[in-house]
Amino acid sequence: MLKRNLLSILVLSGAMLASVTSCKKNEIPDPDPVYQAEWHTSNLGSDALLKSIFFLDDTNGWIVGNNTLLTTTDGGKNWNGNSAKVSDQYNDVCFADIETGFIIGKSISPQGSLIRRTINGGETWIDKVIENSYGLNACVFTTKMNGWAVGEMGEIQRTTDGGSNWKQQEIDQQISLKSIYALDNNTAWVAGDQGSIYYTSNGGNSWVKGQTQTNDSFRDVFFVNSSKGWAVTAGNGSSNIYQTVDGGITWNSVEICENSYLNTIFFADHDNGFAAGQGSLIHQTNNGEDWSKTEVTSTEITDMFFISEDKGFAVGIDGYFAKYY
């Protein structure tokens, strides 16, 4: 899922370690603690599997999932159903601006990869089905014109004209790609099965495989600048967070206090990150060094999005929705 590039204009401050060897318990708060945001669950009136959440700014956001497309124009206080058909499988949503947005997934009829585009804020949608392909899982746009979508069998689709036309790019594996993150029109990373993370510095004309030293499936990838990034894996009943400090060339595992797998990772700023997944354990990090339990729920979380360090959202199975404030 990523689709996120809000941090590309920020400057990193402070040092981040390549690996962490201890898991810290939540400490007893100070007698007069500074206000800290917390997670609050809300009922969206849906029991669908919610797969992706995206915010363009403080007020405008979208959620997609099984037979579901929801929108908000008030920062997530209220959500409304959208008129786009939902007979197909929706896996991710991303917007380039308030008018131009995309839903990607799998078309049921005809069968193939689905790219659904709006140029009027979601009032109407234009469908493009790429036949003889197996479905898309994640999308990202860096400008109104430039974006990617990735999916099954190593599929990478690239547009430079706002989604009117798409051109397939190649990697050397036919694997399921789960996530993409892009900093700009040239720099991007894709992550997927068999311990695979690829990076490009030339707009996807070529993709280079990073050294991860794992065969587990990468579920999500996130970068705070061109050098430092994180990814989460799921495999063999356990999970890991991996970190790179060289732009994705090499990756090192980070010890965490949880055995169930993780689906999603998001950094609200360069110092504050969250990861979540099955078992719905959410981890928080301070400057990428210390990870600890901050919230547990019985529901599996599939995706997160943060507008700021103290305002975020999470979605999951059975219509799960939570706000962080």
Domain positions in the chain = 36-324
Superfamily of domain 36-324: YVTN repeat-like/Quinoprotein amine dehydrogenase (2.130.10.10)
Quick: pLDDT tens for 220-229.
999 999 999 9
Q: What is the pLDDT of residues 258-278, one digit of tens each?
A: 666 789 999 998 888 999 988
Quick check: helix, strand or coil at residue 114?
Answer: strand
Residue 291's DSSP bridge partners are: 285
CA atoms within 13 A on the CB side of 114: 22
Q: For the residues 198-215, what does the mean pLDDT come to?
A: 97
Could you give the CA distance from residue 177 to residue 191 in angstroms, rounded to a whole number? Answer: 6
- What is the chain's percent helix, strand, coil content, to nearest 5? 5, 45, 50
Q: Are 168 and 151 in contact (CB under 8 A)?
A: no
pLDDT higher than 60, residue 20? no
Tokens at residue 281, please? Answer: 């354990």
Instruction: Give the pLDDT confidence of 161-205 residue by residue, as tens digits.
Output: 999 999 999 999 999 999 999 999 999 999 999 999 999 999 999
Residue 15 has pLDDT above 50, yes or no: no
